[in-house]
Amino acid sequence: MHHQLFTSFLAGFAPSTWANLRSQWRAFLRFTTVFDLQPVPASLFTVLSFAQFLARTHAPASVQNYLAGVCTLHKVHGALFPDLSAFAPRLILKGIAKLNPVVVKQASPITPQILLSILTIIDPINPLHVTFWAAALIAFFSFARGSNLFAASVPKFETRKHLCRANISSAPSGLLVTFVWSKTMQAGGRIHQVPVCAIPGSPLCPLRAYTSMLKMIPAPQHKAAFCLSTPVLTPMTKPFLSKHSDHSLISWACPRCCLRVTVFVGGGPPMPSNAASRGNW
């Protein structure tokens, strides 16, 4: 029973969240060890000193994230965390943010114009290019998260989390993309379906791109939606896509754009209202 409780406890956070927390906890414990401070329960002075220490190399938003991780550390151990909402702590944290301004460099969003530029170098008989193009259009028009489309590595591909051929159905009017897991519904309590309409006559038609990929790389329904034959069917992963899109395809077509796989999500900042209309998923 104890083992089952511990397993359920660990499952409460996603693996990536636990990884972030462990990194934050290590930094805090290293800080308290070096300066001979008590880590848990930490005093208000210790927590604010840690924030001041982090501000030398971290953005204010990152400092707040670390403090939230330290708060979680206290909750895990059943210890009280200092109240940072009081006047003095809030003023100190505000001062830290003002004295250490950081301009965040955001990746440029994908736009239809950029997609058209990428299309000029897409080789219609190259399986890699055809798969990349289908993935790019479906990601752009479905507002899908990268965590749904591609696994971090081939062994980490999961049919429950990542899109499979069975999750994308086609019809003359377009595609229907079905998501059973996402960042905001990790328990899988509901299914989210996104229609992706065909655009007849347009070079950016997602239906035509996906159909071309199916003809070139047929795969069983349980296989990854976007996979390559090398020579066995292998899921296209984030590192693989980033390597080929950033440095081979996108950078060639748009050398002045700073692009990542994640910027396909929701079409980027230019269309926030459209992304919001899709719902919280």
Alpha helix (H) residue ranges in the chain: 2-11, 15-34, 44-54, 60-76, 87-99, 112-119, 127-142, 146-149, 206-216, 238-244, 251-253, 272-277
Sheet strands (E) in 165-213: 168-171, 174-179, 192-197
What is the pLDDT confidence band of residue 236, given thresholds at 50, 70 and 90?
Answer: confident
Give residue limits of the domains in the chain: 2-99, 112-277
In the predicted structure, residue 256 carries a pLDDT above the cut 70? no
Lowest mean pLDDT among 40-54, 67-81, 99-113, 213-227: 99-113
* 83 contacts: CB under 8 Å, gap ≥ 6: 44, 89
| pTM score | 0.66
**Tens digits of residue pLDDT in 92-139:** 888 988 887 766 666 667 788 888 888 888 889 988 889 889 988 998
Classify residue 97 as left (phi > 0), alpha (psi -120 to 50) or beta: alpha
Task: Please report which confidence band the pLDDT of residue 186 belongs to, taking 50, 70 and 90 as the band edges.
Answer: low
Report for 44-58, 141-155, 252-266: range of highest mean pLDDT: 44-58
Residue 210 phi/psi, 5-degree rounding, is -70, -40
Residue among 37, 90, 30 at smallest CA distance from 54? 30
Position 66 confidence tier, pLDDT thresholds 50, 70, 90: very high
For 2-99, give the CATH class.
mainly alpha
Q: What is the pLDDT of residue 6?
A: 65
Tokens of 213: 């990929």
pLDDT at 189: 65
What CATH class is the domain 112-277? Answer: alpha beta
